[in-house]
Structure 1
Amino acid sequence: MTKSKSKALTPASSKEGKAESRALYDLIMQSLDDDQAQDIVSIPLEGKSNIADHMVIAEGRSTRQVAAIAQKLAERVKQAGGEARIEGLANADWVLIDTGDVVVHLFRPEVRSFYNLERMWAVGEDAEPEAAEA
């Protein structure tokens, strides 16, 4: 791996980068809503982690829906000029979509409750993770 990272793989740091990061976040949230993802939670990571600016956790009712949501989301991000790497699509119990500034976790409900990422990332926090508005 080279020392220089592409802009899409690192969290935004400039004003322009912040605007692009926000546009990407809005695109992802709209895509999840359009594809009827359920129980969408957004956890702001800026200042807490250098992996991304936001982590979004959502679920689908079945492996088929989880896979479809993930594929559509990746397509929309790529059509908007971004990058999207997908892990876990073969089983579609837990699919990770890394878009650089936003990391998306899509689960089946049982798998989500087992791993409980929201609790892990909210440890030591004064506030609960943000529930996305429908």
Structure 2
Amino acid sequence: MDLVSNQAGLDQEAEDALSRLSPEQRSQTILSLILQELDDDKAENVVTIPLAGKSDIADAMVIASGRSQRHVAAMADKVLRRLKDAGFGRARIEGKTACDWVLIDAEDVIVHLFRPEVRDFYNLERVWSEAAHAPAKPDA
């Protein structure tokens, strides 16, 4: 068996294993991969906000800061690489050109990477904390 067909067989095995994960296991696996990569990359002030049952957009949101635009860009690249290497290659990215605020949509997990002053300005932790505690409004 040549190297290409051997790699294709491994890719299929990984894809089959991922397809057997429950939605909760899949979400937790993606979150764990992201948090490990951010830790490896020395991300600062990492916050995880659980969204399951509060929002349909994702099961969790991760917010982290980088020391500079270059650091934010490197973290984004490495998070995408780790997800792809683990078989979660459908993540999408926005904001990579400026790297002040980079958003990664990793299906079940949304990641916001900021420079510190941009993070302070938008203060997503407060916004999502207030949204999580807001009373539900009945349909009118």
* TM-score, length of structure 2 as denominator length: 0.77
- Bigger Cα Rg: 2
Tell me whether 1:26 sits opposite 2:32 in the alignment: yes
Tell me whether 1:45 sits opposite 2:51 in the alignment: yes
Higher relative contact order (CA 8 A, sep 6+): 1
Structure 2: gaps of 5 or more residues: 1-20, 134-140
Deviations for 1:80-104, whole angstroms, at most 9, x for unmatched residues? 1112111000100000000000000
Please name the residue that 2:93 is paired with. 86
Please name the residue that 2:80 is paired with. 74
Please name the residue that 2:112 is paired with. 105
Structural RMSD (CA):
1.5
Please name the residue that 1:62 is paired with. 68
Deviations for 1:11-67, whole angstroms, at most 9, x for unmatched residues? xxxx71211111111011000000000000000000000000000000000000000
Q: Secondary structure at the match of 1:121?
A: helix
Please name the residue that 1:122 is paired with. 129
Q: Which runs of 4+ in 1 moved over 6 A?
A: none
Structure 1: gaps of 5 or more residues: 1-14, 127-134
Cα distance in 1 between the residues matched to 2:132 and 2:26: 27
Q: Secondary structure at the match of 2:36?
A: helix
Cα distance in 2 between the residues matched to 1:61 and 1:81: 29
Q: Aligned AA for 2:54?
A: K
Cα distance in 2 between the residues matched to 1:125 and 1:95: 23
Matches for 1:4-19 after TM superposition, within 5 Å: 16-19=22-25
Q: Secondary structure at the match of 1:43?
A: strand
> Do the aligned partners of 2:54 and 2:132 also contact (CA within 8 Å) in 1?
no
Cα distance in 2 between the residues matched to 1:123 and 1:17: 26
Q: Which structure shows the bigger proportion of residues in helix conformation?
A: 2
> Do the aligned partners of 2:58 and 2:109 also contact (CA within 8 Å) in 1?
yes
Moved more, 96-105 or 77-86: 77-86
Percent of matched pairs sharing the same residue: 58
